[in-house]
Structure 1
Amino acid sequence: MAADTRDKLIAAARECLLADGHANLSTRRVAERAGVPLSQIHYHFGGRQGLILALLAQENAQLLQRQQTMYGADVPLHLRYGQACDFLRDDLASGYVRMLQEMIAAGWSDKAIGAEVTRLLRSWFELLEQVVIEAADELGDLGPFTPRTVATLIGLGFMGGESMLLLEDSWSDDVFAALGSIGDALELRHRDA
């Protein structure tokens, strides 16, 4: 029963966050939407911040697992990277990207949120770094770049693209062309290897 209440609250928080944004998120509205007493938010999460962080952690864990599975496939890196670009479209449509960007912005003024969002995002960058390390033969010489710097540049490219896509849809062609060009470069490296 407690797990069911917790799940209802997280689902309701997701809906409210996407509808109202982080700044306007009301725990009363979340509780009403979940059909549970307001006190359950404090019981399960300690308050608004704990609820939001639990929501982000749950979403992040599911999507990170998806990425780990995809990048663990035995196919050329450029095809896996192309799938990551397709996943970005899915994550935009699902609302995850907006939720993440809302929490990044909230983390600028709330150190606890900032620390948790940083911890969650680090796991994505660490995954990318591991992918670069494992694809060393396919990538060849990285020149002055380390696997970590390559992972950071790619991760930041996605995050910056996400920000612009949320700002206005007119960025879509530019963002996906820029991200796609990395896939094109990876394909050339693959053919040359």
Structure 2
Amino acid sequence: MIKIPDSTTIEHLNEGKRQAKNKDARLTLMMAAEHCLQHDGYAALSTRRVAERAEMPLSQIHYHFGSKQGLLLALYEYLNASLLDRQKAMFESDLPLSEQWNLACDYLDEDVASGYVRVLQELTAAGWSDPAIAAAIRLNSQGWIDLLTDVARRWAANQTNISPFTPEGLANLVGSLFLGVESRLLSQDSQKETILRSLRDVGSLIKTFEDANK
């Protein structure tokens, strides 16, 4: 005998479908915003342009995010979380720190080529004049510093002495280093190859420390 679902079961099924549909719509709009930032920059970004790119009514942006600011905040958190998860997985691997550094450089190359870095930098720049976006950037940036601090602590534990540095200081230095490199690469710096080579040379320096402590 076929069991007919009761009204509660049907409502749960319908609610699940609504949630899935809303999630898909949010993701579509965020990806459209990412495309617009990547190709046109923040200065040319508008909710209308994003809606057109997503092939969705403009009202959907206001429904799901409330405003352009809400859309950008959601996009920043989405992109930042995916990158942070990737880096956590890398640093939790059994690879030596020198190889992890080189892999981080590979990721940087990929993210610059894909336009990922430009989108994040555009969102960061938006925070210079938008306190809410700036607050989100500070909060999410701390997640990176916390991760790098943990990595630095593990590395320092195997070294004889890292003075005058501290794990916290090294984490902030490395984080600032990569942000600075990203900015110079996006500005089409004529010293691009030298910058990237020097960044990878840090991995060689770490390898020297590793070999000395074997």
TM-score class normalised by the smaller sequence: over 0.9
1:7 aligns with 2:31: no
Gaps of 5+ in 2: 1-20
> Is 2:66 the partner of 1:46?
yes
TM-score, reference length from structure 2: 0.86
Q: Show structure 1 runs of 5+ residues with no match.
A: none
Amino acid at match of 2:126: A
How far 1:121 moved relative to its partner?
1.5
What TM-score comes out, normalization by structure 1 length? 0.95
Q: Which residue in the other structure is 1:92 paired with?
A: 112
Task: Supply the distance in 2 between the matched residues of 1:73 and 1:100 (Cα, whole angstroms).
Answer: 26
Q: What are the Cα deviations for residues 90-137 of structure 1, in whole angstroms up to 9, with x where unaligned?
A: 111121211111122111111111111111121111111110011223
Q: Could you tell me the percent identity over the aligned residues? A: 47
Q: Distance in 1 between matches of 2:78 and 2:49?
A: 20
Equivalent residue for 1:136, pick from 152, 156, 162: 156
Q: Are 1:28 and 1:38, in contact at CA under 8 Å, matched by a contact in 2?
A: yes
The within-5 A match list for 1:170-185 is 170-185=190-205
The runs of at least 4 consecutive aligned structure 1 residues that moved more than 6 Å come to none
Select the residue among 35, 40, 43 that pairs with 1:20: 40
- Counterpart amino acid of residue 66 in structure 1: R
Question: Pairwise CA RMSD of aligned residues?
Answer: 1.2
CA radius of gyration, larger in: 2
The equivalent of 1:76 in structure 2 is: 96
